[in-house]
Amino acid sequence: MRTEDIFALGLGLAQPWKLLNQRLDTEKIPHELHLEIGADRGTGYPCPRCGKTCKAHDFQDFTWRHLNFFQHHCYLTGRVPRIECPEHGIRRVEVPWARPGSNFTLLFEQVVMTLAREMPVATIADFVGTTDKRLWRVINHYVAEAMQRLDISGLEAFGLDETACKRGHRYVTIFIDLDREERPVIFVTEGKGKETVRRFRDHLLVKGGQPERVLEVVSDMSGSFVAAVGEHFPKAEVTVDWFHVVQLFTKAVEEVRKAEARERALPKGTRWGVLKGRETAKTQTQAEALQELEGEAFATGIAYRIKEQLRWIRRAETGQAAKWRATNFLNYAREQIGCEPLLSPMAKALRSFEKHLDRILFRWRSWHTNARLEGLNGLFQAARARARGYRNVANFITMIYLIAAPLGDLFVM
Ligand SMILES: [Zn+2]
């Protein structure tokens, strides 16, 4: 077999294309291998619309970055004609080794997509010796195509949560299908609050779904989400995720601790001790801090004890038992808080808890697991790391899809 044939095989070249020439440019570091592709003079080419073989009208030179050949960067160059089809006029011929408009070969793009699932895009760019901006274009293309193919028309239950893009103030809201065990993300949009719920409803309609079929929505306690769900998904019951209940009280305890620390010295280890709780306290110091907090009249200790009562509610086996425990919890907590100004963040958390109690208790009737949204947090972190230096929100959204959406085969032609 001749070298030309081996290269042609590796590139998937088919009639009328063939390898015309190869040349190693040793002046460049790393060296560049250039493969020149073309066809015989007078060859006919298929019209990209109808496939009819037509004569070339004119030619233009194109270059595509291909997979490295050992340590050498490899480029394909080719004169690609426009044909003149009697029916469709003058059109650029499509080549079998690259997508129209791309500066990379399909094989190169496949490798990029495989790597993008495993490592930061900036790292891939260094590795293959190109810019991350160019790689993002490729990744955005394949992910968008796959999301286009995704069927969500049967959606009956979804969860939503928001997360910050970077350290700034830009947010994205993520929607997950609660009936998908793996890769549950079906829609991500910039922003937060009720506008995002409307956008998701519109998206669902475009994808052939029916908002009236949605019977359950899991969200946090933000009033704007709850109201927007009621407006756009009329049959849906809103469940407040237990994870968000814990988060609400954890934040309140932290506020109490900060305020109290400004007034008096707290036991060493308090911060992480109250965060982790007695069952998971990691160090001796943390455990001792909890003991000391409970022994003396620290506001932080009271706040912590209130938060810990949530575990007792969660362990309830029926909705009725949970309701009874929640009522007891509210009374107990109010009594503990009294009029202590340091504990006002706890009082505020309690008001939210009471206001959303029905939605919180709905989890005992729900057939969807409530651990889903909690799992999303790890995912956001992974997406942020993978998209390091991702330049814009669109890239961040693409990375979330790539990691957690049911994309299926990315290379469907
Ligand atoms: Zn045609």
Q: For residues 82 and 57, is the Cβ–Cβ distance under 8 A?
A: yes
Residue 341, Cβ density class (10 Å: 0-12 exposed, 13-18 middle, ≥19 buried): exposed
Ligand 1 geometric centre to CA of 11 (Å): 26
85: in domain: yes
Domain co-membership, 293 together with 382: no
Which band of pLDDT confidence, cut at 50, 70 and 90, is reported for residue 413?
A: low
Question: How many domains does the chain contain in total?
Answer: 3
Rounded average pLDDT over 198-217: 95
Ligand 1 geometric centre to CA of 43 (Å): 16
d(CA 413, CA 398): 20
235: in domain: yes
Ligand 1 geometric centre to CA of 148 (Å): 27
Ligand 1 geometric centre to CA of 92 (Å): 11
Q: For residues 101 and 108, is the Cβ–Cβ distance under 8 A?
A: no
d(CA 402, CA 396): 10
pLDDT of residue 369: 57
> Structure tokens of 198?
């409307």
Count the Cβ atoms, other than its own, within 10 Å of residue 396: 22
DSSP per-residue letters across 1-35: --HHHHHHHHHT--TT-EEEEEEEETTSSS-EEEE
Domain co-membership, 220 together with 174: yes
Q: For residues 233 and 201, is the Cβ–Cβ distance under 8 A?
A: yes
Which run of H or E residues covers position 379? helix 372-386
186: in domain: yes
Rounded average pLDDT over 188-202: 94
Count the Cβ atoms, other than its own, within 10 Å of residue 65: 20
ipTM greater than 0.85, yes or no?
yes
Which run of H or E residues covers position 232? helix 223-232
Domain co-membership, 267 together with 375: no
129: in domain: no
Ligand 1 geometric centre to CA of 17 (Å): 20
Domain co-membership, 259 together with 168: no
Ligand 1 geometric centre to CA of 25 (Å): 39
Ligand 1 geometric centre to CA of 16 (Å): 18
- Interval 350-397: pLDDT, tens: 999 999 998 888 878 776 655 567 677 778 888 887 777 666 889 999
Domain co-membership, 173 together with 262: no
230: in domain: yes
Which run of H or E residues covers position 247? helix 242-263
Domain co-membership, 74 together with 11: yes
d(CA 51, CA 91): 12
Alpha helices in 117-151 (DSSP H): 121-128, 132-149
Last residue of a domain, one of 58, 74, 103: 103
Domain co-membership, 190 together with 288: no
Q: For residues 218 and 239, is the Cβ–Cβ distance under 8 A?
A: yes
74 vs 39, 184, 410, CA distance in Å? Answer: 20, 38, 24
Domain co-membership, 260 together with 338: yes
Ligand 1 geometric centre to CA of 295 (Å): 85
Query: Which sign does the torsion angle of CA 227, 232, 237, 242 carry?
Result: negative
Ligand 1 geometric centre to CA of 41 (Å): 21
Ligand 1 geometric centre to CA of 47 (Å): 5
Q: Say what percent of the chain tops pLDDT 90.
A: 51
Which band of pLDDT confidence, cut at 50, 70 and 90, is reported for residue 400?
A: very high
Ligand 1 geometric centre to CA of 63 (Å): 25
pLDDT of residue 281: 65
Ligand 1 geometric centre to CA of 107 (Å): 28
128: in domain: no
Ligand 1 geometric centre to CA of 394 (Å): 36
d(CA 119, CA 109): 15
> Structure tokens of 196?
């995002």
CATH of the domain at 218: 3.30.420.10
Domain co-membership, 254 together with 359: yes
- Write phi, then psi, for 263 (nearest 5 degrees): -100, -35
- Interval 260-306: pLDDT, tens: 989 888 888 788 887 777 767 667 888 888 877 777 778 998 999 99
Query: Which sign does the torsion angle of CA 407, 405, 201, 195 carry?
Result: negative
- Write phi, then psi, for 37 (nearest 5 degrees): -115, 145
Domain co-membership, 315 together with 175: no
pLDDT of residue 362: 84
pLDDT of residue 167: 60
Ligand 1 geometric centre to CA of 55 (Å): 11
333: in domain: yes
Beta strands of 26-128 (E only): which ranges? Answer: 32-38, 45-46, 53-54, 56-69, 72-85, 89-92
149: in domain: no
Domain boundaries, position 197: 157-240+370-404
Domain co-membership, 201 together with 284: no
Domain co-membership, 375 together with 261: no
Ligand 1 geometric centre to CA of 94 (Å): 12
Q: For residues 364 and 316, is the Cβ–Cβ distance under 8 A?
A: yes
d(CA 87, CA 40): 25
pLDDT at 9 over 70: no
